[in-house]
Amino acid sequence: MFGNDWDEILQDEMQKPYFLELMANLESEYKEHTVYPPKELLFTALKHTPYSETRVVILGQDPYHGAGQAHGLSFSVNPGVRIPPSLRNIYTELSDDIGVPIPNHGSLLRWAEQGVLMLNSVLTVREGEPNSHKGLGWETFTDTIMKKLNERTTPMVFILWGSHSQKKGAFIDQSRHEVIQSPHPSPLSSYRGFFGSRPFSKVNQFLESKGMKGIDWFISDI
């Protein structure tokens, strides 16, 4: 399904009754409603960032609910799609934090390919209805992903923006892994502590302190 080591790690989870029920419910949802992301992009994050190569998790809530926005990576949009406000704020903080220029597009694929798992807690949403797939079963699945990552002996960084993501911090052994928390980058909360939180430099400080290479956060224009 994923084409990497997530297949084996999540194999048992995907045979559980709740997951089979989730998949059946999604079939109906995709038939009866407009659902994002498109079905073939559902697991983009897991496909691009193998378990063994994950160094950072950036956890979102649920996908963008506008046409053409969600493509399976949290906070990211494909090139050519207008950059959403939350991502614009992420780019502003990125530039203020480490001085890289703000790119002219919203694709975060370059981060994913360096081991940054761009995961949402809930992987689908109905068009124009934020949180419409809350409680469908995705939370159990993504809780398992977080727990499996926490089991790794290699230290990694979890970036949890906003109270919804921070609830998943309960699964993380902070004696081994680093947790970076702040308010959400949404315009509703970005001025309450997201701006100035410097998550990108903090990630690299931690990784380098453990003898690992930092993330190259620079995203080139297209």
Residues taking part in catalysis: 62
**In 63-175, alpha helices (H):** 85-98, 109-112, 138-150, 163-166
Residues 6+ apart with CB under 8 A from 158: 56, 57, 59, 146, 149, 168, 169, 172, 177, 178, 179, 180
- Listed as own residue / partner, the contacts of 94-98 with beta carbons closer than 8 Å and 24 or more positions apart are 94/200, 94/217, 96/195, 96/196, 97/198, 97/199, 97/200, 97/201, 98/200, 98/201, 98/217
For residue 159, the cross-strand partners are 58, 180
